[in-house]
Amino acid sequence: MSVADAALDTALGIGLASAFLAQMARWLRVLQREHYEPSSMRLFVARWVLPSAASARTAKWWPFRPITPALVLAGGFLVALIFDQDRWAILATILFGVGTPWGLSLRGRTGKLAWTRRLRMLAVIALFLALVLVVVGLFLPRPWILAALAVWLVPLELSGAVGLRSSSERSIATSFVEQAVARLERIRPLIVGITGSYGKTSTKNHLAVLLQGHDGVVASPRSYNNRAGLSRAINENLADGTTIFIAEMGTYGPGEIAELCSWCPPEISVVTAIGPVHLERMKSLDAIERAKFEITETARVVVLNVDDERLATWVQRLESSGKKVRTAGSRSDSASVRVVEREGQWEILIDGTPRGSIPVVPGLQPTNLACAIGAALEIGTGETEILRQLQFVMPVANRANVAVAPSGVTVIDDTFNANPASAKASIALLATLPRVNRRVVVTPGLIELGPEQFDANLSLARDVRGVGADLVVVGRTNAASLERGYGAKVQRFARRDQAVTWVRTTLASGDGVLYLNDLPDHYP
């Protein structure tokens, strides 16, 4: 081998290593943002690499839409292998590893890698799996092939690493759960469990406000609603003297809430809604309903939003099993707690009798408030105290908050985890803003809705058009359905910050904008 050939091979080897590290940086971030779910790797590889991923991000310089650069390089890699052009195959691999998926950045704008213990372990295991491929390849006639494949297969290597670490991670999590159980047994608070496809965080926060007159009320912070988050909330926040613990409980599948309730058993359970959130993972509304029903098993009392047709059918089922049911809602006449809008006021009705009223709070959902009132009553809070505390209940941050910017533009911030129901409510809120000249909705659309996602975004865009608002689409995840549903020209931006800049330079005092949902940048 000549000196030039040796130098070229060295450069290609360095390039392969760099390509591998670049792929690891991208996909480790996706894995962490998706809570280390191996299935998420398949979903996001499809979103970024398959033909529909050729988008506005590449439109200015990529002439081969809808075929992605990654697929073109994959084709080049295979052709080079077939014709024994190993160096060209390696070059295609390097370009793939360093440059694709185009738009999935190495560092991230909305969420950078946090080098936690778990992430470090997964990175080491994935590196080990890649090195195994490299070492095995050394014994093959074409030793570069498996080294190149190690770059192409980084998502699969990370998924394998998660699988290899699953039992160890569960063991570590179990130790934290055991600490939480010991703390609960020592402090013995009354536990209120809250779940629902949406509305659970708002209801949890509203309930915490209504219980301000009680000593020692602790609510799980933010969205700490899975096994790791709930045990952490207990270990870090439950102090001696805690009398009431409000625990938000979420799920990605059957059995998760039942497992939470096995060691953090609610005496009072609240279910806010059954809807198509996480339908992509759970496959059907029936499966979602079964998973949510698990929170009722240990409860003495169950508070149900009977505006929801599915939850309304639970009442007789639960009462026949000996549980007390407190119904709540804003529309259903059968609800024992109702929050009903009348002439700019929310009237509070308990068992059909008006008990008082408060001014309507824009962005706050009356059904969630009714559920919180129902839970507060079951805890033993007096009606007078509840009515006094209602004035302090406010929308949760980034959930339909209304403010006027210094420019005079009215801004509705509903960027956190929007769903079909909250989206419809936020669009209606935009439509009812008084004295607004021009209305604009900025959105990447709704996600994790499985087979219903396309139609849900069609409907969302039609609702936007129906209230006379302009539509600004961010990213490409739901761009096709949003454009089709809107049926007219829309503004398109690859990133939310670009859309925000457009809003700030386009809208003027007296206009209104709704920021509906916000996807992290590991979504295309």
pLDDT for 485 equals 92
d(CA 507, CA 524): 26
pLDDT of 53 higher than 70: no
364 and 222 in one domain? Answer: yes
pLDDT for 511 equals 93
pLDDT for 65 equals 54
Among 75-79, 333-337, 367-371, 417-421, the least confident range: 417-421
58 confidence band (pLDDT: 50, 70, 90): very low
What backbone phi and psi angles, to 5 degrees, belong to 109? -100, -40
Per DSSP, the residues of 343-377 read TTEEEEEETTEEEEEEE--TT--HHHHHHHHHHHH
469 and 361 in one domain? Answer: no
Beta bridge partners of 268: 192, 301
Choose one of 359, 392, 425: the last residue of a domain.
392
Domain membership flag for residue 463: yes
pLDDT of 64 higher than 70: no
Residue given tokens 């969205």 in the structure block: 223
pLDDT for 7 equals 84
Residue given tokens 């992605």 in the structure block: 68
Contact criterion met (CB below 8 Å) for 87 and 93: no
421 and 318 in one domain? Answer: no
Angle of the 3-33 helix axis to the 38-49 helix axis, nearest 10: 120
pLDDT for 56 equals 42
pLDDT of 242 higher than 80: yes
Nearest one of 391, 413, 370, 373 to 514, comparing CA atoms: 413
198 and 126 in one domain? Answer: no
Section 59-66 average pLDDT: 48
* CATH number, residue 256: 3.40.1190.10
Write the pLDDT tens digit of every residue in 438-462: 999 999 998 888 778 888 899 999 9
59 confidence band (pLDDT: 50, 70, 90): very low
143 and 9 in one domain? Answer: yes
340 and 223 in one domain? Answer: yes
Model pTM? 0.82
Between residues 57 and 351, the one the model is more confident about:
351
Which is it for the CA torsion 223, 228, 232, 235, positive or negative? positive
Beta strands in 267-371 (DSSP E): 268-271, 301-305, 324-329, 337-342, 345-350, 353-359
409 and 372 in one domain? Answer: no
**DSSP single-letter state for residue 297:** T
Contacts of 174 (CB under 8 A, 6+ apart): none
3-state helix, strand, coil in the chain (%, to 5): 50, 15, 35
113 confidence band (pLDDT: 50, 70, 90): confident
Q: Which residues of 302-339 are buried (b: 16+ CB within 10 A; e: fewer)?
A: bbbbbbbebbbebbeebeeeebebbbbbbebeebbbbb
pLDDT of 11 higher than 70: yes
Section 175-203 average pLDDT: 93
335 and 205 in one domain? Answer: yes
Contacts of 382 (CB under 8 A, 6+ apart): none
Which range of 57-61, 321-325, 475-479 scores highest in mean pLDDT? It is 321-325
Per DSSP, the residues of 241-263 read T--EEEEE---SSTTHHHHHHHH
Domain membership flag for residue 177: no
Beta strands in 143-205 (DSSP E): 190-195
Write the pLDDT tens digit of every residue in 126-158: 999 999 999 999 998 888 899 999 999 999 999
Write the pLDDT tens digit of every residue in 261-299: 999 999 999 999 998 877 677 778 888 999 999 999 999
Expressed as residue numbers, the domain containing 209 is 188-392
Domain membership flag for residue 174: no
pLDDT for 63 equals 47
297 and 253 in one domain? Answer: yes
* CATH number, residue 497: 3.90.190.20
Among 103-112, 418-427, 465-474, the least confident range: 103-112
d(CA 476, CA 482): 10
> How much of the chain, in percent, has pLDDT values that exceed 70?
96
182 confidence band (pLDDT: 50, 70, 90): very high
Residue 430, CB half-sphere, CA atoms under 13 Å: how many? Answer: 33
Calculate ∠ Cα 137-143-149, nearest 5°: 65
385 and 355 in one domain? Answer: yes
Domain membership flag for residue 170: no
Choose one of 392, 417, 436: the last residue of a domain.
392
d(CA 6, CA 3): 5
Domain membership flag for residue 524: no
The token pair that represents 496 in the structure block = 């939310």
Domain membership flag for residue 283: yes
The token pair that represents 107 in the structure block = 């560092």
Nearest one of 345, 348, 346 to 336, comparing CA atoms: 348
Section 344-356 average pLDDT: 90
Whole-number average pLDDT of the chain: 89
pLDDT for 57 equals 45
Choose one of 100, 133, 165: the last residue of a domain.
165
> How much of the chain, in percent, has pLDDT values that exceed 90?
56
The token pair that represents 11 in the structure block = 């450069």
pLDDT for 54 equals 42
Domain membership flag for residue 522: no
Section 387-409 average pLDDT: 85
60 confidence band (pLDDT: 50, 70, 90): very low
Domain membership flag for residue 320: yes
pLDDT for 1 equals 61
pLDDT for 469 equals 94
The number of folded domains in the chain is 3
514 confidence band (pLDDT: 50, 70, 90): very high
d(CA 76, CA 95): 11
Name the amino acid, one letter, at 402. Answer: V
Contact criterion met (CB below 8 Å) for 502 and 493: yes
pLDDT for 66 equals 61
**Burial of 352: CB neighbours in 10 Å, binned 0-12, 13-18, 19+:** exposed
pLDDT of 323 higher than 90: yes
205 and 151 in one domain? Answer: no
Which range of 43-47, 215-219, 475-479, 520-524 scores highest in mean pLDDT? It is 215-219
41 and 98 in one domain? Answer: yes
pLDDT of 363 higher than 80: no
